[in-house]
Structure 1
Amino acid sequence: MTSDDLLVRRADKKDIEEIFGLTREFALSFRPQRSAFDAAYPRLLENPDALLLVVTVGGVVRGYLLGFVHLTLFANGHVAWVEEAMTQHGFRRRGLGRALLEEFETWARSRDAGYIALATRRAPEFYQALEYESAGTYYRKVLKTDRPA
């Protein structure tokens, strides 16, 4: 794979099938439901505070990143949050994740975000190589019962 094969861009309507396939590979805590995905997808594309990126290899979507910028009180303005970041199995360790995060960082800076945060238990070496640091513990409380058994 050459760098010419790899392209990061904003997702658009035609990427819906490939991104849905990746969400099914990504999701461990929830099983993506097609109807909910189809309802959320166009809203995310239109949301000015959201950025949905894809990375393609040879024109095929092999990864995506969904992130947001929002206002805070404690950080004196905007912060950015990576909600989902996924590269397809078999295409990892080829620079796709790095390319997605670097594009998101550029967007977050353009939105005057003070920092970027994300929650993950996977790939700490990857995030540390990109100068992300561990900054706390992530807690959650599941409010929906549509999780897999």
Structure 2
Amino acid sequence: MPAHHELIRPAQPEDAERVWPLVREFATSFTPERTAFDPAWQQAVVAAHTLVLVAETGDGDIIGYLLGNSHQTFFANGSVAWVEELMVERGHRRSGVGRRLMEHAEDWARSIDAAYLALASRRAGHFYLALGYEDSAVFYKNTLRSR
């Protein structure tokens, strides 16, 4: 199991090349396209209500990332935060990288006074339950464009 020497930090525009392989591995419902990823990445890393974190080794390898957003709600009396994507390279799973990315996301959500931090997961429910999250809803989607 890898040592815990990873740095969790805000993503930078120049990290795109090292994050792209993780994005390709993350996706199951869609096939990521590089021509769509590049402008989305550049926009996300500077967007006001968006959190993009990377986990970087001491050697400069990016082994994980997290994409989160916040938005206003009526029912929660203010903002809520969502983790849209959390990905850790297969060889670094179960080493605490995902947990540390989520802890940073929770700190961010608290810093913006979000009522809660939520996410949807098809493959990692056991991981989020172990972090203290609760299964609170069924997730529905209507795919509006081709995958």
Counterpart position of 1:124:
125
| TM-score under structure 1 length normalisation | 0.94
Please state whether the residue corresponding to 1:41 is helix, strand or coil. helix
Distance in structure 2 (CA, Å) of the matches to 1:41 and 1:134:
30
Report the CA distance between 1:18 and its aligned residue.
Answer: 1.3
Report the CA distance between 1:114 and its aligned residue.
Answer: 0.6
Most deviating of 79-88 and 54-63: 54-63
Write the letter of the residue equivalent to 1:8. Answer: I
Distance in structure 2 (CA, Å) of the matches to 1:2 and 1:93:
11
For structure 1, list consecutive stretches of 5 or more residues without a partner in the other structure: none
Distance in structure 1 (CA, Å) of the matches to 2:124 and 2:29:
17
Q: Percent identity?
A: 50
Please state whether the residue corresponding to 2:92 is helix, strand or coil. coil
Q: How does 1:28-107 map to 2 (within 5 A)?
A: 28-58=28-58, 59-107=60-108
Deviation per CA, 1:44-66: give whole Å up to 9, x if none.
11111000000112221000000
Counterpart position of 1:140:
141
Distance in structure 2 (CA, Å) of the matches to 1:28 and 1:123:
13
Q: How does 1:110-121 map to 2 (within 5 A)?
A: 110-121=111-122
Most deviating of 87-96 and 118-127: 118-127
Counterpart position of 2:17:
17
Write the letter of the residue equivalent to 1:18. Answer: R
Distance in structure 1 (CA, Å) of the matches to 2:127 and 2:41:
27
Distance in structure 2 (CA, Å) of the matches to 1:140 and 1:46:
27
For structure 2, list consecutive stretches of 5 or more residues without a partner in the other structure: none
Distance in structure 1 (CA, Å) of the matches to 2:122 and 2:110:
25
Report the CA distance between 1:2 and its aligned residue.
Answer: 3.0
Two-structure CA RMSD over aligned residues (Å): 0.9
Aligned residues: 145
| TM-score under structure 2 length normalisation | 0.95
